[in-house]
Structure 1
């Protein structure tokens, strides 16, 4: 893989990884432990934060895809790029709408039960984290 494009793909992957780790695995669970944060308030904050994260993720995914495409990727880099992009697509296209509908109900005052979609989103975040580490490391190995 071309070294400049490999560096761009690696940097974007690790930037993306840092954002996922900071938001999904640090901010999201901690906000509900803050004094005075109710479930509706935490959900409202979470929706804003995750909307911003998902926009940033989509932009970083675009950077990674462009860099990998332009850089004559190795098969592992191309495959990992596809995996990361697919995981993000499933999160945004299938899981987030379900979570948004549930949070809409809670914000409207309903008492909605826990959603299995939340656990699926977390599982996808874990898989995406592993894939981003592998993608960043594999891309930077070409530098």
Structure 2
């Protein structure tokens, strides 16, 4: 196993763990805590997801640099999966989060409000991200044995 393979694998699986822990554990559970209103939970979520997105960008850059370092040995599937991840990350950061932030800033947040379709899109993209990360991690690791 090359250093680039080990680093890209580590970056991908750390990224996967962060997405699973924050998007699918922390985010929904915080709203079940006693005394946490929708407004408070959304405020916390904005901070947490901003930090997650920064970490994701760093991990994406590390993964891309390592895939480039692998050179011609980089599986085509890994390049496609990394491109999917970058597109999803850009959609999260540049499209969905700003729209959700504007909704929050408008004061259109209350305990009685229904879940907005933007959140469903975000969850859908997070599911795509998880699948792409799992497959990318496996693809890179199995390259070692090819």
Structure 2 matches for 1:102-113, cutoff 5 A? 102-106=103-107
Q: Greater relative contact order: 1 or 2 (C-alpha under 8 angstroms, separation 6 or more)?
A: 1
TM-score of the superposition, structure 2-length normalised?
Answer: 0.89
What are the ranges of 5 or more consecutive residues in structure 2 without an aligned counterpart?
none
Q: TM-score, normalised by structure 1?
A: 0.91
1:49-88 correspondence to structure 2 within 5 Å: 49-72=48-71, 73-88=74-89
CA distance in 2, matches of 1:107, 1:37: 17
Using the TM superposition, name which of 18-27 and 44-53 deviates more. Answer: 44-53
Give the equivalent residue in structure 1 for 2:131.
130
1:95, 1:121 within 8 Å by CA — same for their partners in 2? yes
What is the CA–CA distance in structure 1 between the aligned matches of 2:141 and 2:109, rounded to whole Å? 47
Deviation at 1:70, TM superposition (A): 1.4
1:91 aligns with 2:82: no
Q: What is the CA distance between 1:108 and its match in structure 2? A: 8.1
Q: Secondary structure at the match of 1:141?
A: helix
Show the counterpart of 2:102. Answer: 101
Q: CA deviation at 1:79?
A: 1.1
> 1:141 Cα deviation (Å)?
1.2
**1:71 offset after TM fit, Å?**
1.1
- Maintained 8 Å contact 2:88/2:125: yes
Contact in 2 for aligned 1:105/1:112 (Cα 8 Å): no
CA contact (8 A) 1:32 1:39 kept: yes
Partner of 1:46: 45
Q: Distance in 1 between matches of 2:136 and 2:47?
A: 28
Q: 2:8 touches 2:62 (CA, 8 Å); kept in 1?
A: yes
After superposition, give the CA deviation of every residue in 1:40-89 in whole Å (9 maximum; x if it has no partner).
11111111111111100011011111111111111111111111111111
User: Which residue number corresponds to residue 26 of structure 2?
Assistant: 27
